[in-house]
Amino acid sequence: MENLGDDLVSAFTSVTQLPDNAEGRRLAGALRAYHPALRTNAATGAPTDRPAVVSAQPVADPEQTPHDGDEDDAWVQPGDEEEPKGTVFPALNILKDCMQRSTYHPIPVIRKEERGAEPWTIFREVMDGEPRWVHPDITTEKTKPGKRDRLVVPEQFGTGQLCVIDRNGSYPSACSAVPLAPNKLQHTGPLEEVGKDRAGAFLITVPAWNHPEMPHPLGRLAERTDDQGHVWVTTPHVRQLQKLIKAGHITEELIVPDSWTGKANESLFKPFYAKAREARAELVQAGGEPYTEYKRRLSIALRLLWPKGEKVNSPFWRPDWRMALVAEASVRHWSVAHRAVQAGHTLVALRNVDEAVFFTPDGQAPDTYKVGTGFGEVKVKTEPAAPGSER
């Protein structure tokens, strides 16, 4: 990427949109990083020929809707690692302090010369396991560009409304007990059993999921296997599969042909979670710019766990920590929805790490959710269901 030719840069300026996937984001980031004169439209991802400082936002995904910004997907930029003096929530400094005070002697930065080999090349953004799922009996209708497709509920679902549930602070909430390996990952190969003392990356055989009323517990990861049906996952998804196997929801054994692991710890980010929770309780009531800045600093700190591009001088480089954190948020999101379905509620869509849509008689949230403003609690919005053609 360091020697991108003028022809490629010229071709890039004619592109109107790049795909919102790992490859598209890496290409856009590389072109912008090595050719600062190249700029993209922050709203559409369309390149322009006006020299400017890039505001590197991912291309808008029509399958996603805006939320309150707790799970902001904006890429971090050079300079974001410098927190302004007097900021309402110095999230990055708090996160660094967690590392310095930890008795587990964590290694927050993997040396650059080691990053081009396993296990670090294993990690991908799709390891988050986000569901991005719509019930197989639900159809969708296109709406305005940039808006979600409209969910069309068939007649057999009966009379009811759509209950849209938005989880607060899914990522910082996951910091309360995300299983991580504070030190380097060692090659531990095939495992007959994954104990709770191990954390890291696991190559697994994706088990069958025979429950069409819920997405696969691995989310989109379940569709990204190799020719042998294997996929790399992080510890939160392994533990989730173990629980589902024990409960009888999955009938296959967990098969782990390969692994890179270290001694597990669930409290490395807990002090960060506690301070973020305390600050949110104060700032969410005030709202306005202080709350907006709080969310921004929180998002930047957690994204700096795995900064993209050489020009971001982050105090961290741990893709395993970052992807385990996002996977933990996805697992919690999936698990609460699963408990609601087990209790008889109808899930019609499960999106990203923070939004679920149920079809309920009165538009109220299932009892498995707690409505409120705190981490892990939810906001609820009621929408009329789009009737099917047979209604």
State mean pLDDT over 34-52.
37
Together in a domain, 242 and 357: no
Provide the token pair at 64: 């996603």
pLDDT digits (tens, 9 = 90+) for 70-85: 444 445 677 777 888 8
Q: Residue 43 pLDDT > 50, yes or no?
A: no
54 with 168, same domain: the answer is: no
* 190 falls within a domain: yes
| Domain end (from 263, 298, 313) | 263
Domain assignment of residue 50, yes or no: yes
pLDDT value of position 352: 84
Weakest-pLDDT range from 75-84, 298-307, 324-333: 75-84
* 151 is a domain residue: yes
Average pLDDT score, the chain: 81
Residue 192 and residue 251 in one domain: yes
Q: What percent of the chain has pLDDT over 90?
A: 57
Confidence of residue 143 (pLDDT cuts 50, 70, 90): confident
33 or 28, greater pLDDT: 28
> Same domain for 180 and 240?
yes
Range of the domain at 224: 112-126+176-263
| Residue 231 within any structural domain of the chain | yes
The pLDDT of residue 2 is above 80: no
Burial (CB count within 10 angstroms: exposed 0-12, middle 13-18, buried 19+), residue 289 = exposed
Choice among 22-26, 99-103, 360-364 with the minimum mean pLDDT: 22-26
Residue after which a domain boundary falls, among 18, 45, 60 = 60
Identify the pLDDT of residue 246: 97
Please indicate whether residue 310 or residue 74 has the higher confidence score (pLDDT): 310
Q: Looking at the structure, do residues 246 and 343 belong to the same domain, yes or no?
A: no
> Considering only CA atoms, which of 351, 175, 342, 160 is closest in space to residue 247?
342
Q: Look at residue 18 in the predicted model and tell me its pLDDT.
A: 53
Q: pLDDT digits over 273-302, tens only?
A: 999 999 998 888 877 889 999 999 999 999
Residue 53 lies inside a defined structural domain of this protein: yes
Domain identity same for 116 and 204: yes
Distances (CA, A) of 318 to 30, 115, 260, 334: 20, 10, 14, 25
344 and 259 belong to one structural domain = no
- Please state the pTM of the whole predicted model: 0.80
> What is the count of structural domains for the chain?
3
Task: Please report the pLDDT score of residue 78 as a whole number.
Answer: 73
Minimum mean pLDDT range among 207-221, 241-255, 368-382: 368-382
Query: What whole-number distance in Å separates Cα of residue 310 and Cα of residue 302?
Result: 17
Same domain (yes/no): 170, 222: no
215 lies in the same domain as 182? yes
Q: Is the dihedral of CA 70, 71, 74, 78 positive or negative?
A: positive
What would the pLDDT profile of 86-140 be if each residue is shown by its tens digit? Answer: 888 999 999 999 999 999 899 999 999 999 999 999 999 889 998 889 999 988 8
User: Which of 263, 278, 298 finishes a domain?
Assistant: 263
Q: Residue 245 pLDDT > 80, yes or no?
A: yes
185 and 164 together in one domain: no
- For 182-205, what is each residue's pLDDT tens digit? 999 999 999 999 999 999 999 999
317 located within any domain: no
**Is 65 among the domain residues?**
no
Residue 206: what residue type? Answer: V
Residues 167 and 226 both lie in one domain: no
Band (pLDDT 50/70/90 cuts) for residue 141 is confident
Same domain, yes or no: 161 and 216: no
Quick check: 242 pLDDT over 90?
yes
Examine residue 193 and state whether it is found in any structural domain, yes or no: yes
